[in-house]
Chains A and B, each alone.
Chain A
Amino acid sequence: MNAIDFSPYRQQLKCNFSRIEDVFEECIFDALYHLSPQGVERYLEGASLVCKIGRGFEPVLIYLEEIPEMANRLGEEIISEVADAVWRMSRSPNGVAIPHFMQCLPEASRRLCCDEQMRHFIKLIFTMMEATTKSIHGFHSTIPSPGLPQLLQQIPHLLNQLSLEGLKNWIDYGIRNYNNHPERQRDYFSLQSADSKAMLQRERHGTLYVDNERKLDLYLRGLWQLQDHFIPYSLGFDELRKPQPYFDPVGIRLPDLYDDRNGVSGIDRYRALLAHVAAHKRWSSEIFVDNFSPFQRVAIETFEDSRVEYLAMRHFPGLRQLWLKLHPQPDENDCHPEQESCIRHRLAMLSYALLNPQHNYQNPDILSYVEKFHALMANSDSSLQEIANLAVSFIARTRRQQDQAPNVYFKDTEIDYRDDNRHLWIFIEESDDEDYPEQPEKRRVSDDKLEGLPPRHYPEWDYQSKSYKPDWVSLYESMHPSANSADIDTLLAKHAALAKRLKRILDLLKPQYFQRIRYQEEGSDLDLDIAIRSLIDYRCGSQPDPRINMSHIHNGRSIAVTLLLDLSASLKEVPDGCEQSILELSQEAVSLLAWTIDQLGDPFSIVGFHSDTRHNVRFYHLKGFSESWDDNVKGRIAAMDAGFSTRMGAAIRHAAHYLESQQSDKKLLLILTDGEPSDIDINDAQYLIQDTHRAIEEIGAKGIYSHCITLDKKADEYIADIFGPNGYTVVDHVEKLPEKLPLLFTSLTS
């Protein structure tokens, strides 16, 4: 090493931190080993550039240490790109993030396969940086990105779980939603907030447990006649020691996602695991642990795993292929019994040999025990006790001095579709870990009377990312307060003339149900069956039945209606040329409509809503489907009040939730509003419009018709976007609303 003179290289590196000197020789030696001469030159140029940014020696050190290996992995092109990126970052207000950026690069280079992807990655980071860096006076960016350092710190963890595309989606989501909110942005990018985790979960690669729960349940039921509870655990958070599947009386613990591996799809990996567990459940018993040494125990576990799999393969021969693909294939000569503990290696080889009859192992012990195993299994199911004896003798036979050694050989010995076999063991001595001197105090349930029901969470549609924001809106429902019901009677009395006219229309209103009536002497059609029968009777000389016609009538209506009222603050306004506020007019209209529908006898409910940000959407019940048009309901309508904003999507989804459970053939959701959807936490006018449109589509898919009556004269600009070309009516003269609303309803439903 000393033979090479490093001083020319040191001169090329224009950087005078004294800390550099300590490590320079090692670094340049590494670089000379990995890089071409041009590469080394670029490397040193880059290092000089990083030095010049004035962020201390740390970025330079990281650069010097990590670049040669990265360049070796991804190609030398990457050297100048990294230096360039660091330089650009230093010219922005985000200098503080540079060490984090440098630090995440090596890990990123390990996760990303090629320089192309690395370039995308760097570009992605810069897009995020530029989007979240804010300026005060317009031109110059002055405020550093609040989330960038957090993001860079999380990169290794994120790349472990996400593909580059998933990462991009996750970052985009954060930028879109928290760009104006530094605290939240920080929470999001440091994976603290709930929706950050939820988004991460959604973008993860592989087969998610949640998507396949039913299939797995069917698998257990169908193939194994088992019924058990699944409890998924996450592999994403324990880096050091991965949790293993296991089962106990509570249920089967299994990972929350599986990637495809060795040509086995994620779902089949779940099935491989479940088949193994089910085989244990069917054929394994329990045995006292205290009689065995630790080595004997692992051997018993391996032998027992092989035994139950052997039995399972008798029933389902196809399992062999599946398990073989997932089983590691330890190489016979990989482990050196003189230097390390080969116990795991031996057992893994044995397990593989038992699974695969075409194994190529030569080890006489393995061969002889494979034979013994097959002899044992030849004519019976054997038992845990028998297999334990075999396992103990295997350990005795193959024991080596080095088995006790601390450096255990692990490579290719982990069989991850198998559970940890805790169910095999009974302990005589209870462990004292969970020794409670007294029973832990139960969580006290508050005695306070609950105001309304617990919140319901609804997703909201984000038209920019074309995805739902999970559990975005919290909706609280409650009974609407009550007031004097006589007020409503007075209102109705005022409209007595209109009510009379409505009554006439109602009488004319045709019910929907089309029914055939047979055996009519006079009717609209000849009923052929009966006519021929009568003719035969006539020819036979007996008395023919004269009722040979049939007719049709409309019989019954089967329509359920929910009226959804917008109770936002704008209702308090008194429109031009009116003496009453919109709220009062609405009260009149709703009363008349309720009276009308009550006359028709259709199931009918009235609900109202307003919102104060996504965290507080209030949903009021004014009349339930089962309530009749009585004083209680009138009292609630009399108490109608206006306030806050109009976040319509969640209210529509919730109203549809109730309407959906009605038994009627037709279901109608009438929405009465005075303006476009809006809320104070939303700047983008399109956002809530698009979400409402989405909600209307969703309920349409559930078979619910929706119709909007809007009092907003300017509604034409947006209303068709929400409710479709025929899904709305604009009432220009608000004072006509009490008259219009019932008529509209009758025309909609006749």
Chain B
Amino acid sequence: MSNNQPDISQYTISQEPFYEPQGDEIALYGAAYAARLPVMVKGPTGCGKSRFIEYMAWTLKRPLITVACNEDMTASDLVGRYLLDANGTRWLDGPLTIAARIGAICYLDEIVEARQDTTVVIHPLTDHRRTLPLDKKGELVTAHPDFQLVISYNPGYQSLMKDLKQSTKQRFCGLDFDYPDIATEAAIVSKESGIDSDTAKQLVQIAHTARNLKGHGLDEGISTRLLVYAANLMQQGIEKRAACRMALVRPITDDHDIRDTLDHAIASVFA
């Protein structure tokens, strides 16, 4: 065991995050956690995947360690590595190892962004073994009984190059997320930003316009997160239409025709 035990408190979530359930996902996740099954959450960007995991960590009173995956990430970025210091070398645990030691929920966000040879290091942790071999250090970490691994990915921009191996996929049970229905989404936007519910409904209506255009020039519709941004801008006193253009249209597309259509939708909704 390493002598510099990490500070658990920084990973614990002190305040209840706002989460509006869309279905029975809380119960499903609770059951999976009780059995310590690894979970995969799927869904379009900005629909509340990360927020849900945060909320569950708070509900289950477990620390949460989040790793945003990227292409340059190597296995040692997850597991840990030796560092040079004045006296020689020092081992530093990676986030996955810390989580396994302290019994945290380890959340690998956008896992497909990592290369496939990196993702295989999670395999021994996600089956019956629940161990993590640190071959450089010559240590076999046995996962804390409370440890759980969660991964997220967005099937929307799945390309042929970016997919999980079957052997990785088949170690998880999956939860599917999508944008909530109009009423729920409006409630979320209004709760998050404090905007009135009529405006929130109108924002959701614009988002639906963009989601209808997915695949016709848009890779991804307007997410709930962007709606909250737009509402926040309005709360700052920005005129509604300008706020929508800034937060909802300009970020997602450079296609002139789509911009034009969305701008028109905004003008139609906010008369």
In the bound complex, do residue B213 and residue A539 qualify as a contact, i.e. CB atoms below 8 Å apart? no
In the bound complex, do residue A221 and residue B268 qualify as a contact, i.e. CB atoms below 8 Å apart? no
In the bound complex, do residue A317 and residue B212 qualify as a contact, i.e. CB atoms below 8 Å apart? no
Partner of A540, one of B89, B217, B261: B89
B243-271 toward A: CB 8 Å interface, digit per residue (1/0)? 00000000000000110111011011111
B204-228 toward A: CB 8 Å interface, digit per residue (1/0)? 0100011011001100000000000
The residues of A that contact B160 with a CB separation of less than 8 Å are: none
In angstroms, Cα B42 to Cα A316, docked, is 32
> Is A526 part of the binding interface, using a Cβ–Cβ cutoff of 8 Å?
no
Binds B, one of A212-220, A236-244, A515-523: A212-220
The residues of A that contact B216 with a CB separation of less than 8 Å are: 217-218, 221
State which residues 188-221 of A face B: CB under 8 Å.
214-215, 217-219, 221
> Is B84 part of the binding interface, using a Cβ–Cβ cutoff of 8 Å?
yes
The residues of A that contact B258 with a CB separation of less than 8 Å are: 218
> Is A268 part of the binding interface, using a Cβ–Cβ cutoff of 8 Å?
yes
> Is A577 part of the binding interface, using a Cβ–Cβ cutoff of 8 Å?
no
The residues of B that contact A536 with a CB separation of less than 8 Å are: 81-84, 89
- SS class, residues of chain B in contact with chain A: helix
In angstroms, Cα B265 to Cα A268, docked, is 11
The residues of B that contact A535 with a CB separation of less than 8 Å are: 84
Partner of A222, one of B81, B82, B262, B270: B262
The residues of B that contact A317 with a CB separation of less than 8 Å are: 268-271
In angstroms, Cα B260 to Cα A316, docked, is 16
> Is B88 part of the binding interface, using a Cβ–Cβ cutoff of 8 Å?
yes
In the bound complex, do residue A539 and residue B209 qualify as a contact, i.e. CB atoms below 8 Å apart? no
In the bound complex, do residue A218 and residue B271 qualify as a contact, i.e. CB atoms below 8 Å apart? no
In angstroms, Cα B267 to Cα A271, docked, is 12
The residues of A that contact B217 with a CB separation of less than 8 Å are: 218
In the bound complex, do residue B271 and residue A321 qualify as a contact, i.e. CB atoms below 8 Å apart? yes
**Shortest CB distance B222–A (Å):** 11
Size bracket of the A interface: 20 to 34
In angstroms, Cα B268 to Cα A716, docked, is 60
Known: A215-B257, A539-B88, A539-B89. A221 touches B269 (CB 8 A): no
In the bound complex, do residue B261 and residue A222 qualify as a contact, i.e. CB atoms below 8 Å apart? yes
In the bound complex, do residue A532 and residue B84 qualify as a contact, i.e. CB atoms below 8 Å apart? yes
> Is A379 part of the binding interface, using a Cβ–Cβ cutoff of 8 Å?
no
The residues of A that contact B88 with a CB separation of less than 8 Å are: 539-540
In angstroms, Cα B39 to Cα A603, docked, is 48
Name B260's closest neighbour in chain A (CB-CB). A215
The residues of A that contact B267 with a CB separation of less than 8 Å are: 318
**Shortest CB distance B105–A (Å):** 30
**Shortest CB distance A626–B (Å):** 23
In the bound complex, do residue A215 and residue B261 qualify as a contact, i.e. CB atoms below 8 Å apart? yes
In angstroms, Cα B89 to Cα A56, docked, is 114
Partner of A318, one of B83, B89, B261, B269: B269
In the bound complex, do residue B212 and residue A222 qualify as a contact, i.e. CB atoms below 8 Å apart? yes
B165-183 toward A: CB 8 Å interface, digit per residue (1/0)? 0000000000000000000
**Shortest CB distance A226–B (Å):** 9
**Shortest CB distance A193–B (Å):** 33
Size bracket of the B interface: 20 to 34
In the bound complex, do residue B213 and residue A218 qualify as a contact, i.e. CB atoms below 8 Å apart? yes
> Is A504 part of the binding interface, using a Cβ–Cβ cutoff of 8 Å?
no
The residues of B that contact A219 with a CB separation of less than 8 Å are: 261, 264
In the bound complex, do residue B210 and residue A318 qualify as a contact, i.e. CB atoms below 8 Å apart? no
The residues of A that contact B205 with a CB separation of less than 8 Å are: 315
In the bound complex, do residue B257 and residue A540 qualify as a contact, i.e. CB atoms below 8 Å apart? no
The residues of A that contact B213 with a CB separation of less than 8 Å are: 218, 221-222
In the bound complex, do residue A318 and residue B257 qualify as a contact, i.e. CB atoms below 8 Å apart? no
> Is A320 part of the binding interface, using a Cβ–Cβ cutoff of 8 Å?
yes
In angstroms, Cα B81 to Cα A225, docked, is 53
In angstroms, Cα B208 to Cα A315, docked, is 12
A315-359 toward B: CB 8 Å interface, digit per residue (1/0)? 111111110000000000000000000000000000000000000
> Is A744 part of the binding interface, using a Cβ–Cβ cutoff of 8 Å?
no
In the bound complex, do residue A540 and residue B264 qualify as a contact, i.e. CB atoms below 8 Å apart? no
> Is A223 part of the binding interface, using a Cβ–Cβ cutoff of 8 Å?
yes
In the bound complex, do residue B264 and residue A271 qualify as a contact, i.e. CB atoms below 8 Å apart? yes
State which residues 607-628 of A face B: CB under 8 Å.
none
The residues of A that contact B262 with a CB separation of less than 8 Å are: 222
In angstroms, Cα B81 to Cα A222, docked, is 50
State which residues 47-101 of B face A: CB under 8 Å.
81-84, 88-89
Q: Which of B84, B210, B212, B260 counts the most A-chain CB atoms under 10 A from its CB?
A: B212
Partner of B209, one of A223, A267, A540: A223
**Shortest CB distance B220–A (Å):** 14
In the bound complex, do residue A214 and residue B264 qualify as a contact, i.e. CB atoms below 8 Å apart? no
In the bound complex, do residue A222 and residue B271 qualify as a contact, i.e. CB atoms below 8 Å apart? no
Name A218's closest neighbour in chain B (CB-CB). B261
In angstroms, Cα B267 to Cα A322, docked, is 10
The residues of A that contact B265 with a CB separation of less than 8 Å are: 222-223, 316
Name A315's closest neighbour in chain B (CB-CB). B205
Name A214's closest neighbour in chain B (CB-CB). B257
In angstroms, Cα B209 to Cα A225, docked, is 8
In angstroms, Cα B89 to Cα A639, docked, is 76
**Shortest CB distance B31–A (Å):** 36
Partner of B270, one of A214, A315, A318, A540: A318
Name B209's closest neighbour in chain A (CB-CB). A222
In the bound complex, do residue B261 and residue A539 qualify as a contact, i.e. CB atoms below 8 Å apart? no
The residues of B that contact A322 with a CB separation of less than 8 Å are: 268
Q: Which of A222, A316, A322, A532 counts the most B-chain CB atoms under 10 A from its CB?
A: A222
In angstroms, Cα B208 to Cα A316, docked, is 13
In the bound complex, do residue A222 and residue B210 qualify as a contact, i.e. CB atoms below 8 Å apart? yes
Partner of A268, one of B89, B210, B264, B270: B264
In angstroms, Cα B265 to Cα A30, docked, is 55
Partner of B271, one of A221, A320, A532: A320
In angstroms, Cα B202 to Cα A318, docked, is 12
Name B91's closest neighbour in chain A (CB-CB). A540
In angstroms, Cα B202 to Cα A315, docked, is 9
The residues of B that contact A225 with a CB separation of less than 8 Å are: 212
Partner of B212, one of A221, A267, A315: A221
Give residues in B with beta carbon < 8 Å to A. Answer: 81-84, 88-89, 205, 209-210, 212-213, 216-217, 257-258, 260-262, 264-265, 267-271
Contacts A/B (CB < 8 Å), 17 sampled? A215-B261, A218-B213, A218-B216, A218-B261, A219-B261, A219-B264, A222-B261, A222-B262, A223-B209, A316-B268, A317-B269, A317-B270, A317-B271, A318-B268, A319-B271, A535-B84, A540-B88
Nearest 3 Cβ contacts at the A-B interface: A318-B268, A317-B271, A316-B268
